[in-house]
Structure 1
Amino acid sequence: MYEFIRGAVADLNPASVVVDVGGIGYFVNISLNTYSQVNGKKEVKLLIHQVVREDAHVLYGFAEKRERDLFRSLISVNGVGASTALMMLSSLSPDEITSAVATGNADVLKAVKGIGTKTAQRIIIDLKDKLGKMPESGQILISTDNTIRNEALSALVMLGFAKKDADKAVSKIIKDDPGATVERVIKTALKRL
């Protein structure tokens, strides 16, 4: 099992990063929270969670240990896979997820695509004790970029949304809120799609 990966950023978008380590590019899936923290950096160190399947070895990267720990807790819940956990960490901050679980607020969790009532309740039941012991806090760095629309659209398509639907949602969000960051555009779109 890999613990972390450190190297030059060869390619970065809100859903993934390619890290060049000694001439080999590693494709690493990331959350929107991690993207906010590594955007603009030439070199990164990401904590890794590796998923080995029959057809693929998939890497998930996190800027902070707390976020990786939360990801691992989420995928330990029956019915929550790595993609769903990453979607949750892209839609909500680790603090929001922890707070929703601690207070039993299933509605916050259900706002994430792919999370229904039963799954939200299962997450709360399974993780209430576990997440109560996790340390809180984490500052999200907001980035400003000229290609907000393209990055948001790219991230939504990579998360599995139809390009046509994602494009419509992103256009409306940017029209309504021209000063929105790429993170805010994606989070708003995730709630609307």
Structure 2
Amino acid sequence: MDTALPRETGRTAFRDATDADVPELVALIESAYRGDSSRAGWTTEADILEGQRTDPDGVRTTLSAPGSRVLVVERDGAMVACCHLEHRGEAAYFGMFAVRPGLQGAGLGKLTIAEAERSAREDWGVSEMQMTVISVREELIAWYERRGYRRTGRMSPFPYGDERFGIPRRDDLAFELLVKDLGQG
């Protein structure tokens, strides 16, 4: 598949983000994770982190990194979800996953992650998807487990003191690696 072209599933279209999408991507990601707007959905981190989730420079850096792409999900021409994919050898890393809060819980997240997995497997030939999730996010981890991801118990520290990742409201944050076997490409 030529990833530069949009792919449509029903009324949902998938395409790679461009620099022109940066402001809208930042707004979508922030709305899904931080502040009062994020409380309209279930993926909010507002109770554990304050401050920003991302910024325009961070998104631009992600877009321009080798082996990296940001998948935009649109419905009726409006950006409703996104995720970041990074090619890491035999695996792909999945992150920066956001669904507009008012649309969460209606299957859009499942559709987005399935397209990300399909794309990583077909475009890069990877056999595994990896992600890191804040370990205290039990409901979110359970959602990923229902999608076939498994907890590894491998932890990495939360970047306390680096406000680019938010301002922690608790002192027990760490990232856990989750993985999913994507099978043969």
Tell me, yes or no, whether TM beats 0.5. Answer: no
TM-score (norm: length of structure 1):
0.29
Which protein is richer in helix relative to its size?
1
TM-score (norm: length of structure 2):
0.29
Which protein is richer in strand relative to its size?
2
